[in-house]
Amino acid sequence: MSLDSLRDFIAALDEAGELVRVRESVSVDLEITEIADRCMKSTGGGPALLFEHPVLRDGTPSRAPVAINLFGSLRRMAVALQSPSMDDIGARSRELLKTEVPDGLSGKLSMLPKLIELARFPPQHTTEAAPCQSVVLRGDDVDVGAWPHLICWPQDGGPYLTLPMVVTRDPATGSRNVGLYRIQVQGPRVLAMHWQRHKVGAAHWRAMAERRERMPVAIALGADPASMYAASAPLPPAVDEFLFAGFLRRAPVRLVKAVSSDLEVPAEAEIVIEGMIDPAEELVMEGPFGDHTGFYSLADRYPAVHVTAITSRRDPIYPATIVGRPPMEDYYLGHATERIFLPLIQLTMPEVVDYHMPAYGVFHNLVFVAIDKQYPGHAWKVMNGLWGQGLMSLAKVIVVLDRDVAVGNPDEAWWVALNHIDPERDVRFTMGPMDVLDHSSRAFTYGSKMGIDATRKWPEEGFTREWPERIVMDEATRRKVDEKWARLGLKLP
Ligand SMILES: Cc1cc2nc3c(=O)[nH]c(=O)nc-3n(C[C@H](O)[C@H](O)[C@H](O)COP(=O)(O)O)c2cc1C
């Protein structure tokens, strides 16, 4: 079944037994968070939820149901990206990245399926009536507050759009970006755009400010699940998220021109909020916001979006998520990125065997990396390489281990690391850019990083003592005990 829209995705989750429909009236003011948080904290991420009768802050019923926790489990990510596992998608990207020159005719022919697959990916532009523009409101008819935006946590600065796809364009190259950035509702036609300074949307905004030009923005809510996920993926600025979504779903994303600007949005979106940012205008205070670190982000200054139009389906579904103390739904979106992007990291650092960002490390705080160590200082080389790549540059702590450590299991990674390090010798500090959400750094987005070399140390690295082996039972004994096991009366959990 092709998942072309949010409603297709919800139907697929329903069919897979992954969705619970909540028929009770539930307020968008904190209540949805409390229910969703309990689900997200339950084993495996709990079910996806469709609140059929959300109640707005003024007590009136919402015109749209609210869907939440749609991506919040390994199984649901597999449904969203229509792949048995995220590693399988990684394997597909690895194939695409293989650039050896094919040998002979049969080699050349074997490239064909790859090229055909690629040729099918580009987004399709439609001029036909698009579902997302079935209802069009402009000017004074627009009231953003009429939609079920969540107030997520008690000290939040206001209601938020928490799962938007923000479309912008680079004025110099014309390349498009789609980013998932939270957006605060500040008035019937005013929003505050929380794109952090390291993100592509913010770079577009700075470029527009330099040119002194007003910047169109389109905010799509709900689309095919691959596009929704792609908005959260840290793609290089030149790679179009809708092209990437096309690759993921093996079908193009259909786009339509917005009604008040030249930007394009997914034709299958549920709701689209179109707006304009004037870079000359003073910034507005955004936040505080209960963030994915598990702490509140403090209020700060971000650009105001002036809404020019809202378009929607006739019966839109409003998608949302909440972030907070991990684990939450965003862990599964980030985990998909971790798996899908491994081949990209390996393109420049083939010695990286695997890596993992555990939920409690909230992505930027902790990265475990397993490497195929080939020379003295190799662990430091890998750390420095990672600190030089895209959003990995924001990682606060990187722990490098040998290739035999299953870094996907944080308990194993810490167990080995703590055994292997002489702290004074194996821990180093460096400086660099920090995530906007890091509240501990000495300055905003600037601070120190810690690298831990937890690999086995070599004589060439000054280690002349003998390095002990891991304790593992021999195969013969294991087999003997396997044969006796049923007779031992031992039922272990
Ligand atoms: C649920 C969720 C909320 C997010 N909120 C923000 C946000 O408010 N601001 C931000 O800059 N990034 C946020 N991110 C991270 C970005 O989506 C991510 O860094 C993405 O790569 C940004 O796209 P870009 O690389 O095209 O800028 C969020 C991610 C998730 C999963």
Residues forming beta bridges with residue 66, ordered by sequence position: 51, 318
Q: Is the torsion defined by CA of 180, 369, 77, 22 positive or negative? A: negative
State the Cα–Cα distance between residues 346 and 326, nearest whole angstrom: 28
pTM: predicted TM-score of the whole model, two decimal places: 0.95
Q: Which atom of ligand 1 is closest in space to residue 234's alpha carbon? A: 21
Taking the centre of ligand 1 as the mean of its atom positions, its distance from the CA of residue 414, in whole angstroms, is 28
pLDDT for 130 equals: 98
The per-residue pLDDT of the chain, averaged, comes to 95
Assess whether the C-beta atom of 323 lies below 6 angstroms from ligand 1. yes
Top mutation candidate among 199, 330, 392 for ligand 1, by most atoms within 8 Å of CB: 199
Cα–Cα dist 353/339, whole Å: 12
Which residue has a Cα nearest atom 20 of ligand 1?
A: 232
- Burial label, 242 (beta-carbon count in 10 A; 0-12, 13-18, 19+): buried
Looking at residue 271, its pLDDT comes to: 98
What is the reported pLDDT for 98?
74
217's tokens: 């923005």
Host H or E run for residue 248: helix 241-249
Give residue 250 CA to ligand 1 midpoint distance, Å: 24
Our answer to whether residue 330 is catalytic in this structure is no
- Closest-lying ligand 1 atom to the alpha carbon of residue 436: 11
CA of 199 to the centre of ligand 1 (A): 8
- The answer to whether the CB of 426 is under 6 A from ligand 1 is no
Summarised one tens digit per residue, pLDDT across range 281-321 is 999 999 999 999 999 999 999 999 999 999 999 999 999 99
Q: How far apart are CA 130 and CA 267, in angstroms?
A: 5
Note if the bond before 327 is cis, omega within 30 degrees: yes
Residue 115 has a pLDDT of 53
- What sign for the dihedral angle of Cα 72, 75, 80, 84? positive
pLDDT above 90 for 191 = yes
The pLDDT score that the predictor gives to residue 220 is: 99
Q: Which is the catalytic residue, given 29, 291, 330, 453?
A: 291
100 C-alpha to ligand 1 centroid (Å): 34
CA distance 258 to 264: 6
Q: Distance (Å, rounded) from C-alpha 194 to C-alpha 304?
A: 9
The contacts of residue 58 (CB under 8 Å, 6+ apart) are: none
CB-count burial class (<10 Å; 0-12, 13-18, 19+) for 396: buried
Q: Please give the angle made by the CA atoms of 228, 176 and 434, to the nearest 5 degrees.
A: 75
Ligand 1 lined by 27 (C-beta under 6 Å): no
